[in-house]
Chain A
Amino acid sequence: MMSKLSTLKLSDLERIDLPTDDIEDFTIDKEDRKQFDPEVRDIIIREKIRRAIRKYGENGLSIDEIMEVTKLSRYELTKHLEKLNNLREIYSQRKNAKSVQYYPNGKPLHQLGIKKIGDGNPLLEICIAQGAKESLFFYIVEKRYTILDGEVAEGAVMVPFNKIDEFIRSLMELKQSVEVDNL
């Protein structure tokens, strides 16, 4: 079966029926990536890392292990791991002085709906995500929109499903303290 998105040819599609799920398995190698716009290249690399960590990282993956799975350079990998970490799509834990492990941080369940807060910048987008052992989180992403870049995620926070009441209560208390201060 096809394994490379960029080398997927029209003639391949003419020969076989392509089940939608196979898109999950598409990857591209270094040479192929040169053909893409830089932005598309970043998208594809990040997706590759994300999938590798989701598939193999339940018990954590070191950077060397991710390099082995994705065949990406350490420099490229570090840059994108940091981005994915900031977006809370993965999280990292330092095991010892030399080793950091990376874990998947939940899969957004978009079928349950997405809530958007705000018309202008920044936008907040909230959905429910599924983490390890089927635990649920509220996944809150901060985004900015420009014509040049479209909607770009700038950061995110994961709030455990069972902590949401406490989370809201804390926010309300903070809000009230500001209101009291302003009186």
Chain B
Amino acid sequence: MPMQFLKEDEPLKRTMSYLIGNSWVQAPSFIPEIKGEEDVDVLLRHTSAQPQNNPVIVPANKWPKIINNPKFVIGDTSRGVQQAQLFLENHPIIFFDPPELFRYTMGNELIKYSLRGDKKLKSLFVNLLKKNDKENALKLADPIFRPFIERQWNTIFQDLKIDIGQISNEENSGHIEKAWLDPRVDESYVQYMLNIGNSAIKMPNSTIIPPVPPLMKSSNRAVVSRIVSSNNAASVACQYLSNESKTKYILPYFHLYMDSDIVENSTGNNINTALKILEDGLNKNTSQQFSGIAITVNGYDKLFESDHITKFKMLINDAIMIGNSHSIPTILPRSTYYGLPLLDYGIRGYSSMMNGSLKYSKGGFSDDPDDKFGKVYLIDQCVELKKRDVIDYIRKNGQFPTIPGLPLYPTSEELLHDKLYRLNWSKPRKLSCIEEAKRIRKAQEKGIVNPAKLYINNSSNKDLNRI
């Protein structure tokens, strides 16, 4: 197992690369995050816009079901869909459980995820709930999810349109994140990580960002300890699988999932708590237990509008120093364009869901008909445009900026159909963030100082310009 997961690139030593499995990834890199089959379809049809070894984040518990869909296993040359196997050989896979599923009331979204995206299991689950057999329905989900599901029965029944009357308060207690201290999570976490690790180690190159409790202002010592122990448990499970595999290894990232108000000085947990978790977690043993640090921040939008952004930069700077001292990279999952300015500090990877959202949404209907079409990322300006703004932009400029392998404008048919628009236009254009990361790396190669800041200064994103 390698001990160095981060290296300076020869001969200039101005840029860095980080290791996932046996693949060296050029930093900084933009890492697209897949949610479902629609996103995989987009990635497999736009391979030329993704350089060799550019990683992809995938939903850990649903991934085997998604990638084993025959249309991806076989590929579809008529639609330009590359075979998944070829894609996987060229792109390291990062297994990631969306942390909001273990924190907020997510209703049907949590059920779909906990049942591994298996529609037959979901149908069985619904049928059992219709008979009010919650006990057997729960057994269909992996044990780790059960306490999180139990805390939101009301929403689940509503989402699934099942009417069995009012659920008792005891069974609908909210505060989803408190389920992290439930004995069933305590007992089933290692088993869950062994199952996820077993899926991950089958990929040619992969790593895991393990699910962890959120670090909130109000998190008590028990929760803080659980953040460290769940990371360690993921490492123990991965080391077990690596030992068994003999020729392949998998080593997880140390995951810190924190609220943005942690950087405020008010009462409760603060930057010191976050750094202590990282230091304690990474220094627990002398042997290498993690191949990177992943910091997922809840509330980037609030953070970039506040006066606390300087403190956040300090936190990120210190986290990167801790990572560097262990020869491991630090990445920011779910940071979208907010991750861009932090590349100058040494963040090696930043990511976004293909629809540009900061987290899974609970679903439901929106008043704005443009919402289901998704937003389109506009490179250089670092902003995301709704459909009406896209039409406006194209009227004025004729097309979007040219990026090899990506469409320049939506067709009239795509403008009428939301699914076509997402598949052929809004989601593929998200890959222009990969081009952004490449440009910043090129500037670093030339010895330009703070290239991300220079790039952002020319954009029209006011939030980013505050940093």
Contact = CB atoms under 8 A, between A and B. Distances in A.
A10 B195 contact: no
Contact of A40 (B88, B187, B194, B243): B194
Contacts of A10: 185-186, 189-190, 226, 229-230, 233
B330 interface: no
Contacts of A26: 240
A44 B241 CA distance: 9
Given A23-B240, A147-B73, A151-B202, A40 B247 contact: no
Contacts of A39: 198
B191 interface: yes
A150 B201 contact: yes
Interface of A: 5-11, 13-14, 17-20, 23-24, 26, 35-37, 39-40, 43-44, 46-47, 108, 110, 114, 125, 127, 141, 145-151
A8 B189 CA distance: 9
A125 B247 contact: yes
A54 to B, nearest CB: 12
B195 A40 contact: yes
Contact of A11 (B186, B195, B284): B186
A13 B240 contact: no
B99 interface: no
Contact of A108 (B187, B246, B284): B246
B356 to A, nearest CB: 28
Nearest to B68: A148
Interface residues of B, number: 41
Given A10-B229, A23-B239, A43-B198, A127 B285 contact: no
Contact of B247 (A9, A18, A141): A141
The binding surface of chain A is classed by DSSP as: mixed
B285 A17 contact: yes
26 contacts: A8-B233, A9-B187, A9-B189, A10-B186, A10-B230, A13-B228, A13-B232, A18-B284, A18-B285, A20-B287, A23-B236, A26-B240, A35-B191, A39-B198, A43-B198, A43-B244, A46-B244, A47-B240, A108-B246, A146-B85, A147-B73, A147-B84, A147-B85, A148-B68, A150-B202, A151-B202
B191 A36 contact: yes
Interface string B68-79: 100001000000
Interface of B: 67-68, 73, 84-85, 88, 143, 185-191, 194-195, 198, 201-204, 225-226, 228-230, 232-233, 236, 239-241, 243-244, 246-248, 284-285, 287, 289
Contacts of B85: 145-147
A23 B232 contact: no
Contact of A17 (B195, B230, B236, B284): B284
A9 B233 CA distance: 8
A181 B424 CA distance: 56
A-B pairs, 8 with minimum CB distance: A150-B202, A13-B229, A10-B229, A14-B225, A14-B229, A20-B287, A9-B186, A8-B190
B118 to A, nearest CB: 13
Nearest to A10: B229
A20 B239 CA distance: 8
A49 B143 CA distance: 27
Q: Which residue, A10, A11, A20, A148, has most C-beta atoms of chain B within 10 A?
A: A10
Contacts of A43: 198, 241, 244
A169 B432 CA distance: 54
A110 B246 contact: yes
A147 to B, nearest CB: 5
A74 B67 CA distance: 37
A20 B202 contact: no
